[in-house]
Amino acid sequence: MKLEIGNFYVKDIVFGEKTSYKSGILTIDKKEALDFICQDEHITEAELYIAKPGDKIRMCPVKEAIEPRVRLNCGPLFPGFTGELMPVGEGKTHALKDCCVTVVGKHWGGFQDGFIDMSGEGAKYTYYSQLINIVLVADTDEDFEKHEQQKKNKALRLAGHKLAEFIASCVQDLVPEETEVYQLDPVLNRDPEVMKLPKVVLVLQPQSQMEESGYNDLLYGWDTNHMVPTFMHPNEVLDGSIISGSFMPCSSKWSTYDFQNFPVIKRLYQEHGKTLNFLGIIMSNLNVALEQKERSALFVAQIAKSLGADGAIVAEEGYGNPDADFVACIVALEDAGVKTVGITNECTGRDGASQPLVTMDEKLTAIVSCGNVSEIIELPPMETVLGELEALGRDGCSGGWSTDEILGPSVREDGSVIMENNAMFCGDQVVGWSPKTVKAF
């Protein structure tokens, strides 16, 4: 399976008369783009902004981020969600790099929605401050969930995914500046020298806990709550087979942009044939009941063992209840003789003194920590707010609160904020490009 991603490196984005790309400048016809978005009758208000690294802009409540791409065979960018079902992972796709479509609620936030600062102290907590953001600020007629803490954000997320493809269509017929090629031979048909290397599998646990549809990550448009662990080609993940859901404390979330650019996958590709034999991905899930968690762990271990894996990397989207799936999976792999490294964030409390994972086991001997979700962050006012800052404290956003006996409200009268790291949009970056590091003491 061979995937070619043709890259166009965006140096600046401006609004203009025609959506086009030339010499690093992406021009967007704002009226045309908004007219396209508002074809969805559920979108009641919409506006587009451009937020660049260093701008004194704050965004909240942030719901999703997507890399603008277009598939050259005219198929949908996200099969089963933005269009008909079709296989992905091979062929050619064009991508606008160093930018993203960011979806922000005009008014209403929820538990799963986040926060981005494009400059200042807050910018260091999220990767998205480094990108040029095409910011869609919109509202919908989904009145039934506006005052709910958990929101499906269906119309807003769909608008962002469609807009990303709509904008990228301007490079469909252009020659890319660079082409990334991702290719793996079938597991049993690889060169003898590759077969001698340590065989490694990547286990991904995307958000799939919610038993009601509309909240979980989608795989080919299918609610991941309905799946069992499945072996997949890594190209499928990089090429739009999976999109982010609308449930998970925000710093733990994997956006669709994260799936499209998954750094751990790309690094395993870089090492393939040199230091390891990258077998592929076991796409697992996160469950609610203990028996479901144990069953999924057994599935993962059996697949890895059948593939002949020597080692595994396990990454979970979330923390708390999902920790039980994460730990059970690592234990099952270790019991099967597969040496395993886990990647996760921690919930150690505001003072950092609590147990990092809900469940622990002595077989967890190699864990990469991506930070403490409960770390307190205090930020000064920002000149411009896109969205509604009050949502951070008012609407149950993870990391924010309406009032606290000691700390007061999350959102202060002067526009400054105090909150937990939980609120930073995809801030912990378990996918592999966290700006955080470990200090030696």
What's the per-residue H, E or C state across the chain? Answer: CEEEEEEEECCEEEECCCCEEECCEEEECHHHHHHHHCCCCCEEEEEEEEECCCCCEEEEEEEEEECCEEECCCCCCCECCCECCCCCCCEEEEEEECEEEEEEECCCCCCCCEEEECCCHHHHHCHHHHCEEEEEEEEECCHHHCCCCCCCCHHHHHHHHHHHHHHHHHHCCCCCCEEEEEECCCCCCCCHHHHCCCEEEEEEECCCCCCCCCCCCEECCEEHHHCCCEEECHHHHHCCCEECCCCCCHHHCCCHHHHHCCHHHHHHHHHECCCEEEEEEEECCCCCCHHHHHHHHHHHHHHHHHHCCCEEEEEECCCCHHHHHHHHHHHHHHHCCCEEEEEEEECCCCCCCCCCCCCCCCCCCCEEEEEECCCEEEECCCCEEEECCCHHHHCCCCCCCCCCCCCCCCECCCCCEEEEHHHECCCCCCCCCCCCCCCCC
What integer is the mean pLDDT of 349-371? 91
| pTM as predicted | 0.96
Measured CA to CA in angstroms, residue 32 lies from 10, 16, 72, 140, 435 at distances of: 20, 10, 22, 19, 36
Q: Are 243 and 217 in contact (CB under 8 A)?
A: yes
Q: In the beta sheet, which residues pair with residue 417?
A: 379, 411
Q: Beta-carbon neighbour count of residue 351 at 10 Å? A: 10
pLDDT in tens, 165-219: 999 999 999 999 999 999 999 999 999 999 999 999 999 999 999 999 999 999 9
Q: With 90 as the cut, is the pLDDT of residue 433 above it?
A: no
Amino acid identity for residue 32 in this structure:
E
Task: Tell me the domain boundaries of the chain.
Answer: 2-423
The number of C-alpha atoms within 13 Å of 60 and in the hemisphere containing its C-beta is: 33
pLDDT in tens, 112-158: 999 999 999 999 999 999 999 999 999 999 999 988 889 999 999 99
Measured CA to CA in angstroms, residue 163 lies from 64, 171, 174, 380 at distances of: 12, 14, 19, 32
Q: In the beta sheet, which residues pair with residue 313?
A: 202, 341
Find where tokens 């059948």 sit.
306
Handedness of CA 184, 188, 192, 197 (dihedral sign): positive
Residue (of 392, 391, 356, 388) closest to 374 by Cα position: 356
Q: With 90 as the cut, is the pLDDT of residue 220 above it?
A: yes
Q: Beta-carbon neighbour count of residue 439 at 10 Å? A: 4
Q: With 70 as the cut, is the pLDDT of residue 395 above it?
A: yes
Measured CA to CA in angstroms, residue 133 lies from 99, 154, 257, 386 at distances of: 6, 21, 12, 12
Which pLDDT belongs to residue 126?
94
Q: With 70 as the cut, is the pLDDT of residue 440 above it?
A: no
Q: Are 88 and 241 in contact (CB under 8 A)?
A: yes
pLDDT in tens, 8-66: 999 999 999 999 999 999 999 999 999 999 999 999 999 999 999 999 999 999 999 99
Which pLDDT belongs to residue 3?
97
Q: Beta-carbon neighbour count of residue 147 at 10 Å? A: 12
What integer is the mean pLDDT of 72-91? 95
Which pLDDT belongs to residue 437?
67
Q: With 70 as the cut, is the pLDDT of residue 438 above it?
A: no
